[in-house]
């Protein structure tokens, strides 16, 4: 187990380094002069020079890269060009909101997909199964940027039950979490159905039924536990795309997280902050994927033996 | 290698899949709408009528008018061109890149393989459309840059598929024989590897179109896609959501269009997967 742990951690190193390199190169992809784009055409030459120095754009690319890396090791992601605050501090101040929303979406997705997946698998090809299938297809095909406004229209404008957006109470969390969680619920429902159907066919479930256990008990007590293992992996992998989707959902609901910060930084052409946000979310995703991997190892002894 | 059923049989199997048949019908309708938009749309999508801005659906404007009084149905018709162009364009570019990278990795193995697959891992570390957001943010918003941004990530899936197929086929006796007599890799790729990888690639490409359409609309929603006055479904939702209280039809119409189109491609993908017997992870 220890050796696998070290091996997985070691495998993540080049990925993180690659992510850092790609994010570092982003600012150099800007067509034309980044300093001019950030300051606008009317900026004075002295102003431009100052910013160029501050962003270290006046040095050779290799030097910039090394300094970028050494900065990262010191926890220095640069300074926001608009607020003059350290980028990392700005991101960390928004992180709790993003984490809260992601976890709430995950919980919502699980609460919906667990019963739906089990119901579908217990009665394949029944009316319930078809309904669940339709729900998953709708959930998969409904983009956040449409579902969000739709939920606002229904629950805030028509029914007046929940706030349109903002932050402050549990009620504020409901619509954004439902928006982000729906796609994931759809994926998890499909996954759980497929995985549970496969388990139900196995001998140990038949044996449990033969011992006189009801079908429901055999499925819930025995098959479900094993069926959940692959679902868990998908859950971990999907957590990353939740974080990526936070840019859209947080913007719709004016949720004060990193996603909204990213778009605000893009609109303000605050490239150090854009870089920081993207880097933070990507590295977080790598970390979550790694954790999922390790959890998977713990849960499924078969893999450890391999 | 299993014997492949004739295409007629597979076509029939696809059409028996009710979802896929419905999906094909919807996609055909959207394709016709995009191709014949200038003839189908009752108005020019850019013509403004400020005095009748935000009007609800009526006989003369089936889906109503937006803030500037532009006809929503006409904008929807022209907007379908952007969605389909990005969907098909991204998948075509990604497929070409993926074929190239996958076969390079599979044929040469060793360092080339490790390098390309590591690059794929790195790109996959960026969650969802985050990398595309970053790329369009720095390159500037435009149709071309959306295509670039989405293809940068899009090739990975195809590359993995092709690589796996190359690795499998490379070991077969007749392929080794072909290689031994000097058959060039390109010929090997076209004659032996592609035909075998075609089914999973087709399924992946169908889902890929759906993903690209959603991603383009998402980027346009954020203001990072096609720029006004060119109509795009994502941008129409973004403009409309500021008028949810007074004119929800602005948001509903493009949203339904995106959802139906995406769902249609997803259904076709599901149907193809079943008809072609492709096993893959559910995404």
Q: Please tell me the distance from the alpha carbon of residue A230 to that of residue A109, in angstroms, as a whole number.
A: 16
CB contact under 8 A, A30 and B244: no
- The answer to whether residues A88 and A272 touch, using CB atoms and an 8 Å cutoff, is no
Percentage of residues in chain B having pLDDT higher than 70: 95
| Chain B residues inside the 8 Å CB shell of A22 | 122-123, 126, 131
What's the confidence (pLDDT) of residue A1? 65
Q: Inform me whether the pLDDT recorded for A233 exceeds 60.
A: yes
pTM of structure: 0.91
Q: How far apart are the first and last CA of chain B?
A: 26
CB contact under 8 A, B223 and A267: yes
* Cβ pairs A/B, distance under 8 A: 145
Looking at the DSSP assignment, which residues form a beta bridge with residue A79?
Answer: A86
Q: Considering only alpha carbons, which residue of chain B is nearest residue A138? A: B263
State the average pLDDT over residues A278-294: 90
| Chain A residues inside the 8 Å CB shell of B213 | none
- Measured between CB atoms, which of A141, A285, A289 is closest to B263? A141
What's the confidence (pLDDT) of residue B79? 96
Percentage of residues in chain A having pLDDT higher than 90: 53
| Chain A residues inside the 8 Å CB shell of B218 | 143-145, 248
What is the DSSP secondary-structure string of B1-50? -PPPPPHHHHHHHHHHSHHHHHHHHHHHHHHHHHHTHHHH-SS-TT---G
Burial code (b: 16+ CB inside 10 Å, e: under 16) for B168-207 equals ebbeeeebeebeeeeeeeeebbeebbbebbebbbebbbbb
What's the confidence (pLDDT) of residue B147? 96
What's the confidence (pLDDT) of residue B1? 41
Q: Chain A: nearest CA to B276, how far in angstroms?
A: 18
Q: Please tell me the distance from the alpha carbon of residue B128 to that of residue B136, in angstroms, as a whole number.
A: 14
Q: Inform me whether the pLDDT recorded for A259 exceeds 90.
A: yes
Q: Considering only alpha carbons, which residue of chain B is nearest residue A250? A: B222
Q: Please tell me the distance from the alpha carbon of residue A29 to that of residue A69, in angstroms, as a whole number.
A: 18
- Of residues B86 and A295, the one with the higher pLDDT is B86
| Chain A residues inside the 8 Å CB shell of B127 | 240-245, 281-282, 285
Q: Based on C-alpha coordinates, what's the Rg of chain B?
A: 22
User: Which of A34, A121, A139, A141 is best to mutate for the B interface (most B CBs within 10 A)?
Assistant: A141
Give the 3-state secondary structure of residue A271: helix
Give the 3-state secondary structure of residue B267: helix
Q: Please tell me the distance from the alpha carbon of residue B165 to that of residue B189, in angstroms, as a whole number.
A: 10
What's the confidence (pLDDT) of residue B279? 64
What is the DSSP secondary-structure string of B154-210? HHHHHHHHHHHHHHHHHTSHHHHHHHHTT--HHHHIIIIIHHHHHHHHHHHHHHHHH
| Chain B residues inside the 8 Å CB shell of A150 | 251-252, 255
Nearest CA to B249 out of B30, B66, B50 is that of B66
What's the confidence (pLDDT) of residue B283? 36
Q: Considering only alpha carbons, which residue of chain A is nearest residue B114? A: A14
Percentage of residues in chain A having pLDDT higher than 70: 98
**Percentage helix, strand, coil, to 5, in chain B?**
75, 0, 25
| Chain B residues inside the 8 Å CB shell of A16 | 125
| Chain B residues inside the 8 Å CB shell of A194 | 282
User: Which of A145, A147, A150, A233 is best to mutate for the B interface (most B CBs within 10 A)?
Assistant: A145
∠ CA A200-A206-A211, rounded to 5°: 135
pLDDT band at A306 (very low <50, low <70, confident <90, very high): very low
pLDDT digits (tens, 9 = 90+) for B99-145: 999 989 988 888 999 999 999 989 988 988 999 999 999 999 999 99
Q: Please tell me the distance from the alpha carbon of residue A283 to that of residue A88, in angstroms, as a whole number.
A: 13
Q: Which residues in chain B show pLDDT less than 70?
A: 1-10, 279-283
Q: Inform me whether the pLDDT recorded for A133 exceeds 80.
A: yes
- Measured between CB atoms, which of A143, A252, A282 is closest to B127? A282
CB neighbourhood size of A84 (10 A): 7
Q: Chain A: nearest CA to B281, how far in angstroms?
A: 9
User: Which of B76, B79, B115, B122 is best to mutate for the A interface (most A CBs within 10 A)?
Assistant: B122
Domains of chain B: 3-282 (1.10.3720.10)
What's the confidence (pLDDT) of residue A265? 93
| Chain A residues inside the 8 Å CB shell of B252 | 150
CB contact under 8 A, A274 and B137: yes
Q: Chain B: nearest CA to A208, how far in angstroms?
A: 29
pLDDT digits (tens, 9 = 90+) for A53-96: 888 888 888 998 999 999 999 999 988 988 889 999 999 999 99
Least confident of A92-106, A107-121, B43-57: B43-57
| Chain A residues inside the 8 Å CB shell of B17 | none
pLDDT digits (tens, 9 = 90+) for B176-192: 888 788 878 778 778 87
What's the confidence (pLDDT) of residue B186? 79
Q: Please tell me the distance from the alpha carbon of residue B273 to that of residue A289, in angstroms, as a whole number.
A: 27
- The answer to whether residues B180 and B122 touch, using CB atoms and an 8 Å cutoff, is no
Q: Chain A: nearest CA to B282, how far in angstroms?
A: 6
């Amino acid at each position: 187990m220890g050796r696998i742990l070290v091996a997985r951690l070691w495998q993540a190193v080049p990925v993180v380094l690659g992510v850092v390199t790609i994010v570092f190169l982003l600012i150099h992809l800007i067509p034309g002069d980044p300093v001019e784009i950030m300051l606008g055409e009317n900026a004075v030459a002295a102003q431009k020079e100052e910013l160029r120095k501050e962003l270290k754009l006046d040095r050779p690319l290799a030097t910039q890269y090394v300094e970028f890396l050494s900065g990262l090791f010191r926890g220095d992601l640069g300074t926001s060009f608009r607020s003059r605050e350290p980028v990392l501090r700005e991101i960390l101040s928004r992180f709790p909101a993003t984490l809260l929303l992601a976890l709430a979406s995950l919980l919502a997705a699980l609460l919906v997909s667990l019963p739906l997946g089990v119901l579908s698998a217990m009665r394949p090809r029944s009316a319930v199964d078809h309904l669940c299938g339709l729900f998953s297809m709708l959930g998969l095909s409904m983009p956040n940027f449409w579902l969000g406004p739709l939920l606002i229209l229904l629950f805030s404008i028509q029914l007046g039950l929940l706030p349109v957006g903002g932050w402050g109470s549990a009620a504020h969390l409901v619509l954004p979490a439902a928006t982000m969680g729906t796609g994931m619920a759809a994926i998890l429902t499909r996954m759980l159905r497929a995985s549970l159907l496969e388990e139900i066919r196995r001998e140990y479930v038949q044996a449990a039924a033969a011992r006189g256990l009801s079908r429901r008990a055999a499925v819930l007590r025995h098959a479900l536990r094993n069926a959940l293992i692959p679902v868990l992996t998908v859950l971990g992998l999907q957590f990353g795309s939740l974080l990526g989707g936070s840019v859209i959902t947080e913007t719709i609901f004016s949720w004060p997280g990193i996603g909204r910060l990213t778009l605000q930084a893009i609109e303000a052409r605050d490239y150090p902050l854009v870089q920081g946000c993207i880097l933070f979310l990507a590295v977080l995703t790598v970390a979550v994927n790694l954790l999922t991997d390790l959890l998977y190892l713990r849960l499924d002894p078969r893999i450890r033996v391999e | 290698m299993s014997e492949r059923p004739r295409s007629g049989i597979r076509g029939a199997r696809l059409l028996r899949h009710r979802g896929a048949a419905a999906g094909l019908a919807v996609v055909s309708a959207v394709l016709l709408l995009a191709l014949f938009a200038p003839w189908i749309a009752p108005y020019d999508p850019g013509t403004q009528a400020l005095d009748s801005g935000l009007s609800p659906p009526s006989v003369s404007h089936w889906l109503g008018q937006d803030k500037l009084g532009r006809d929503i149905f006409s904008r929807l018709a022209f907007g379908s061109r952007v969605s389909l162009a990005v969907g098909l364009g991204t998948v075509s570019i990604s497929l070409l890149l993926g074929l190239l990278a996958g076969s390079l990795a599979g044929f040469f193995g060793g360092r080339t393989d490790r390098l390309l697959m590591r690059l794929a891992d790195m790109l996959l570390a960026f969650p969802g459309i985050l990398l595309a957001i970053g790329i369009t943010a720095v390159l500037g918003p435009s149709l071309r840059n959306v295509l670039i941004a989405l293809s940068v990530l899009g090739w990975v899936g195809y590359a993995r598929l092709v690589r796996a197929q190359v690795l499998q086929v490379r070991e077969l006796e007749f392929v080794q024989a072909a290689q031994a007599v000097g058959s060039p890799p390109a010929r090997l790729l076209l004659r032996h590897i592609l035909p075998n990888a075609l089914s999973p690639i087709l399924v992946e490409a169908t889902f890929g179109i759906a993903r690209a359409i959603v991603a383009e609309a998402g980027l346009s929603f954020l203001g990072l896609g096609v720029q006004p006055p060119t109509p795009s479904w994502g941008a129409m939702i973004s403009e409309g959501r500021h008028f949810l209280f007074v004119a929800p039809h602005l948001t509903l119409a493009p949203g339904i269009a995106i959802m139906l189109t995406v769902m249609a491609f997803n259904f076709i993908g599901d149907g193809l997967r079943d008809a072609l017997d492709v096993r893959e992870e559910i995404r």
